[in-house]
Amino acid sequence: MRITMEETIATPMPRIGDPAPEFTAVTTQGDINFPGDYKGSWVILFSHPADFTPVCTTEFMTFASMQDEFAELNTKLVGLSVDGLYSHIAWLRTIKDKIEFNGMKDIEVTFPLIEDITMKVAEKYGMIMPGEDSTKAVRAVFVIDPKGTIRTIIYYPLSLGRNFDELKRVIVALQAADALEVATPADWRPGDRVIVPPAGSCGTAKERMDGEVEGVECVDWFFCTKAYSEDEVFAAIK
């Protein structure tokens, strides 16, 4: 199957803040109704270009080996490619039986992998980028919150394997921002200072500048931060 540039342009791509587009699909773990089956959980819905390809293999092994870490963050994983179910099953069996990578081996992928031979889901989510390849999905990542709203979208080209520490950082940062009503600065990690929102919700600008709001430090009226320890962040997002 091939998707033309015109068809891609005719299908609006979902954006951050939109409800996750709905679909039903056959997966390696049975049928799913998305995002309805995932209400109450965070989800990383991600596409990969093709089964039996090396970069995708390393990505699946890494994601599967981190599945428990994501589960601790109330986050479920759902993969997709435009291959069929039997290809998916054979590829995942080969990964478990034969592939070693980065110290990982005997890796079983137990999260659902969607078969999308008609490309309906990939098209709906803007995962096909004909300029890159009209017959495969790019490496798209959609982070969807427990209410079914798209919160982050990241795209990578075919040649570039994803950074999974960054995907985990995105989940923790989004959850921390929601729980603490803050924003997170460049390269933020739990334990680093966070950005507190504009004056009003956390003291007036003068109170903040004068150091009168507990824990808040301002270097200018628009740039105020607050310390939260790693433990405080994880307690807040539990």
Give the nearer residue to ligand BEZ in terms of CB position, either 42 or 60: 60
Q: Is 158 in the site for ligand BEZ (CB under 6 A)?
A: yes
Count of residues interacting with ligand BEZ (CB under 6 A)? 8
Min. distance of Cβ 136 from ligand BEZ in angstroms? 6
In this structure, the strands spanning 75-81 and 113-115 are: parallel
Strand partners, 155: 140
- Contact set for ligand BEZ, span 128-147 (CB under 6 A): none
Give the nearer residue to ligand BEZ in terms of CB position, either 74 or 134: 134
Strand partners, 142: 45, 153
Name the residue with tokens 């989940």.
171
Encoded tokens for 92: 């995942």
Give the nearer residue to ligand BEZ in terms of CB position, either 55 or 195: 55
Mind telling me the catalytic residues? 56
Min. distance of Cβ 92 from ligand BEZ in angstroms? 14
- List the one residue out of 123, 23, 29 whose CA is nearest residue 85: 29
Contacts 24+ apart (CB under 8 A), 64-72: 64/107, 64/108, 64/109, 64/110, 64/111, 65/104, 65/107, 66/164, 66/168, 67/110, 67/111, 69/168, 70/44, 70/168, 70/171
Give the nearer residue to ligand BEZ in terms of CB position, either 47 or 184: 47
Distances in Å between the Cα of 214 and the Cα atoms of 66, 106, 191, 198, 210 are 37, 51, 18, 15, 11
- Contact set for ligand BEZ, span 37-66 (CB under 6 A): 49-50, 53-56
- Contact set for ligand BEZ, span 182-201 (CB under 6 A): none
Q: Specify the length of the chain in residues.
A: 238
Q: Is 21 in the site for ligand BEZ (CB under 6 A)?
A: no
Min. distance of Cβ 84 from ligand BEZ in angstroms? 17
Min. distance of Cβ 220 from ligand BEZ in angstroms? 46
Binding positions for ligand BEZ, rule: CB under 6 A: 49-50, 53-56, 158-159
